[in-house]
Structure 1
């Protein structure tokens, strides 16, 4: 008859296997969580960049200067740059930023928006 005490001693060679498996899996889980958090941060910067480029295009359309547009984009996403163009009745702003996820992954973010050019 097998007792509870003797049932637990079946695999003496397997001692510590759970700790070894955890030690192997834990870095992968942590890396996945960090990359996921970084990707969410980059996505939120992309949304802020798009919103700021729309605001900057409206400012330029109202006749404000390029420095005001740069301030709006820089306030929304620190370190972002802009380029502007005019085509017919439209003024367009393209905002760019290089987001980093961790130390090795860099993502170029870009958002463009146009507005009617009523300030001319």
Structure 2
């Protein structure tokens, strides 16, 4: 007998149909994770900017506006410890159906230029 067995016919299509949703899910989660990482970097940069603004004596509203402008929907809290002004910026990111909190902190010297 030199023919192909009939039981293998269509197996590649069936395997692809089973694997394709898993591959798509992994791609979507990967893209979501990259987006979350990008937002975290922007949040860290915004916290540093806000800390520098407060360290120079700017208004807290202006610092909060800088954070919200850099990362839409983000908020911030600040505190002063000795000669440092510290800012914690916070936001949320959604990956698929899961919402993850993001936080970034930065400090600057109070009275700095």
What TM-score results when the alignment is normalised by the length of structure 2?
0.94
Tell me by how many angstroms 1:14 deviates.
1.7
Q: Which runs of 5+ in 2 are unaligned?
A: none
Structural mapping, 1:1-80, within 5 Å: 2=2, 7=3, 10-80=4-74
* Counterpart secondary structure, 1:118: coil
Residue equivalent to 1:98? 92
Superposed CA RMSD: 1.3
Higher-Rg member (1/2): 1
Distance in 1 between residues matched to 2:94 and 2:5, nearest whole Å: 47
* Counterpart secondary structure, 1:45: helix
Q: Residues 47-69 of structure 1, C-alpha deviation per residue, up to 9 Å, x if partnerless?
A: 00001100000000111111111
Runs of 4+ in 1 over 4 A off after TM superposition: none
Q: Which runs of 5+ in 1 are unaligned?
A: none
Q: Residues 55-85 of structure 1, C-alpha deviation per residue, up to 9 Å, x if partnerless?
A: 0000001111111111111111100010010
Distance in 1 between residues matched to 2:68 and 2:17, nearest whole Å: 43
Q: Residues 25-46 of structure 1, C-alpha deviation per residue, up to 9 Å, x if partnerless?
A: 0000000000000000000000
* Counterpart secondary structure, 2:58: coil
